[in-house]
Amino acid sequence: MLSVEVWKELSHRLTAHESRGQQFSENVGRPVYAERTPFQCHGIQSGMPKFGAPAGYGIGQHDPPRSLQDMWNFYEHIRRGIEELIATTYGKGAYDLLNRMRPSQPLSPTSRLDKAILLRETVRSYNGCHEFVYENDQWIMRPWGMSKGKRVPIPPKRLPYADNALGTHVKYQTPPRHEDRVAEDNLRNIAGTMESLL
C-alpha cells in the first residue's frame, strides 16, 4: 500500500518523536514518573539504553524489549522497529483492522485517500490506540482504544500523538469540522507533510 519512501519517512518521524532519535540516554538524573502508581520513579543514567516510562526502551521505545541484546544493540533495535512498523505489528495490524471495518471495499493501493488513512492509522497504532471508525459509509477520525473488551475514547493527553508525528492539526469534533473530513480533498490534514509522498 505505501511506498518505501513513505515507510522510511515514517520510521524517521516516529523515532524522532518517541526518543528524539536516540538509542542511549544522554541524561543523568531521576525524573519523577507517576502516571500509574503515585510516587513511582525511574532512574536514568547517561549511556544506558534510553528508557521512556512506563516501559519503552531505545530509539523505537520497544515495549517490552525482545531481549537484553535488543536493548543494547542499536542495529538490532532499528531492524526490529522497522519489522514491527511495517510487516508484523503496526502497519499490518492497521491494514487488517481498516479492511475489517469496511469489508465491502478493501483499501486500494491506487487511492491516495486510502493510503492517507492507512498512514494515520499506523501512526496511531504505534501509540497503542486506533484513529478511525467507519460509520454511515464514511471514515471518521475518532481516536479510540479498548478497555474491558469495549471501544472507548482515548484520554485527551494521547490525542496529539498523530498530529505531532505527522504535522497535522485535527480537532476531533463530532460532527467533524470541515477541515477534519476524511475526504480526497483533505489529504493534507490527514497525512500532514507526508501527503506529497502518497
DSSP string, 19-43: HTT-SB----B--B--SSSTT-B--
Rounded Cα–Cα distance for residues 40 and 104 (Å): 48
Determine the pLDDT at residue 46: 64
The residue with cell 473530513 is: 181
Determine the pLDDT at residue 28: 58
Q: Mind listing the pLDDT tens digit for each residue in 47-72?
A: 677 776 666 777 777 777 777 777 78
Determine the pLDDT at residue 174: 80
Q: Mind listing the pLDDT tens digit for each residue in 155-175?
A: 999 999 999 999 999 999 888
Determine the pLDDT at residue 29: 56
Determine the pLDDT at residue 39: 43
> What average pLDDT score do residues 132-137 get?
94
Q: Is the pLDDT of residue 27 over 70?
A: no
The Cβ of residue 126 has, within 10 Å, a number of other Cβ atoms equal to 25
Confidence of residue 41 (pLDDT cuts 50, 70, 90): very low
Specify the long-range contacts of residues 45-50, CB closer than 8 Å, at least 24 apart: 48/24, 49/23, 49/24, 49/25, 50/19, 50/22, 50/23, 50/24, 50/25
Rounded Cα–Cα distance for residues 89 and 14 (Å): 15
| Reported pTM | 0.83
Determine the pLDDT at residue 49: 74
Q: Is the pLDDT of residue 187 over 50?
A: yes
